[in-house]
Amino acid sequence: MIPLRIDGRSVDARPGEPLLRAARRAGIAVPALCDHELLRPYGACRLCVVEVVAAAAPGRSPRTRVVTACDFPAREGLEVRTATATVLALRRQIVRLHLARAPEAPALRTLAEELGAEPLEPPEPPDGCILCGLCVRVCAEAVGAHALGFAARGKDREVGTPFGRPSAACVGCGACDWICPTGILRHQATASAEFRRLPGEDRLCRYARLGVVPGALCALSYDCRRCDVEAAMRARFGPEHPAIGSFRQRLAAAGGGTP
Ligand code: FES
């Protein structure tokens, strides 16, 4: 472990560990909407901005920079400030921009209230997506399906399946909807609707597609709330989605740490 200081407190971190993880372990709250401990950092939502002051070389003054804590590696001697006036002003502006895209998102509304950020007028009807990429990463890294991706650029950038068509790679597990920080629920319903079109002998349980239960056909037309398998998944993985829970178990079995 290496020592650094966050908000004046001594904190130990693993070399290279993202500052966000070290801060959270020390009980220092930093907002973060695109981070999940098991997925690779992506640095998209920018809410985790902090100031870092690198130790000065002899004869030089220390250098202060604004960085995203979720993907900035811990280094010995680093001084981190999570709530300076600069940081808070930046976060306020970032929250306003996100709110324009997802005005109903409870996590954003709470942050806006805490920071005193007024929402911006949305330029067009907001679709609720802040392009954090969590759904894309959980599908690729935890599920291994790679059914979702980013399309287009600039203001047209969006998340979806290739060519906007139902993806054959999608297992319908719903991890994408579960992990969405703004609470958009749209991909699993689309997948279930597609599965319902399949002949009965092809209607494999979504958790069987995910690989966490033995192959079994769905007898409830993908109305998972009524299903015993759903209840068994909750009993086995608790509040965590089975895709994440099983990914956590696989990482632990492989002796791997988090990304
Ligand atoms: S949590 Fe760091 S940029 Fe989103």
Condensed to tens digits (0 to 9), the pLDDT of residues 135-178 reads: 999 999 999 999 999 998 888 899 988 888 888 899 999 999 99
Helix H segments across 116-240? Answer: 134-137, 175-179, 187-196, 206-210, 228-237
Residue 68 CA: nearest ligand 1 atom is 2
Q: Give the pLDDT confidence of 18-47 residue by residue, as tens digits.
A: 999 999 999 999 999 999 999 999 999 999
> Ligand 1 test: best mutation among 36, 47, 179, most atoms within 8 Å of CB?
47
Average pLDDT over residues 226-235: 94
Helix H segments across 43-170? Answer: 85-101, 106-115, 134-137
Q: Which domains does the chain have, with CATH numbers?
A: 2-115 (3.10.20.740), 134-253 (no CATH)
Nearest to 221 by CA among 190, 242, 241, 198: 198
Tell me which of 54 and 158 has the higher pLDDT: 158
Average pLDDT over residues 78-99: 96
pLDDT, mean over the chain: 92
Task: Give 217's pLDDT tier (boundaries 50, 70, 90).
Answer: very high
Q: What is the pLDDT of residue 259?
A: 59
Tokens of 126: 């907001």
Structural element, H or E, at residue 245: helix 242-253
What phi, psi does 117 have (nearest 5°)? -100, 125
Distance 26 CA to ligand 1 centre (A): 18
Does the C-beta of 130 come closer than 6 Å to ligand 1?
Answer: no
Q: What are residue 64's DSSP bridge partners?
A: 53
Tell me which of 123 and 33 has the higher pLDDT: 33
Structural element, H or E, at residue 65: strand 63-68
Strand 49-54 vs strand 79-81: parallel, antiparallel, or unpaired? Answer: antiparallel
Percent of the chain with pLDDT over 70: 98
Tokens of 161: 């399946």
Tokens of 91: 């976060």
Average pLDDT over residues 182-189: 83
Q: What is the pLDDT of residue 123?
A: 67
104 and 128 in contact (C-beta within 8 Å)?
yes
Category of 16 on φ-ψ map: left (φ > 0), alpha (ψ -120 to 50) or beta: left
Residue 252 has pLDDT above 80, yes or no: yes
Does the C-beta of 98 come closer than 6 Å to ligand 1?
Answer: no
54 and 62 in contact (C-beta within 8 Å)?
yes
Distance 225 CA to ligand 1 centre (A): 32
**CB atoms < 10 A from the CB of 14, how many?**
14
Classify 151 as helix, strand or coil.
strand
